[in-house]
Amino acid sequence: MAFKFKYQRILALKKDEEDFRKKKLAEKIAELTDKKRELNDFFGRKKSYNEKHIELLEGGTSVSMLKAYNSSKIWYLKEERRLNNDIKIISDELSVARENLKRANIEVKKLEKLREKDRIEYMKREEKEFDMMIDEVVSYNFSREMQLN
């Protein structure tokens, strides 16, 4: 009789959940990386824009150009806040995803340990049954020899 773990289906479900959690964590890491890259690109564009306008301002400017520059500055500040807020939200989601993966991993490890304990008990029972069969065979052979003599 082969070893069969009675909670094998549950273990399979937990492993599937763990794989799902790993996938979600990888997605969140990729999303955070993309958002950080977007923020760095934004800072480059902002720096370039400021340098361009400083050159224009040094050469003299009109009131309408100052208004446009000021409104652009306000937009850049709002955009920077938005990107930083998005990064914070994604970081929080990443922490939750890590915690979920940790819990799923713990559940899988518990069931794997339980399966290993059951397998060891099964092997001990099999060994005991085998020893009993050998004892029976030896006893039968001994009694048969005694009857023949």
CB 5 within 8 A of CB 118: yes
Please report, rounded to a whole number, the percentage of residues in the chain having pLDDT higher than 70. 99
The conformational region for residue 60 under phi > 0 = left, psi -120 to 50 = alpha, else beta, is: left
Give per-residue pLDDT as tens, 2-20. Answer: 888 888 999 999 999 999 9
| 47-53 long-range contacts, CB within 8 A, separation 24+ | 49/76
Q: Tell me how many degrees the CA angle 132-134-139 measures, rounded to the nearest 5.
A: 95
- Residue 1 or residue 73, greater confidence: 73
- Please tell me the pTM assigned to this model: 0.73
Question: Contact 17/105 with Cβ under 8 angstroms?
Answer: no
CB 35 within 8 A of CB 80: no
- Tell me the per-residue pLDDT of 33-59, one tens digit each, with 9 for 90 and over: 999 999 999 999 999 988 887 877 777
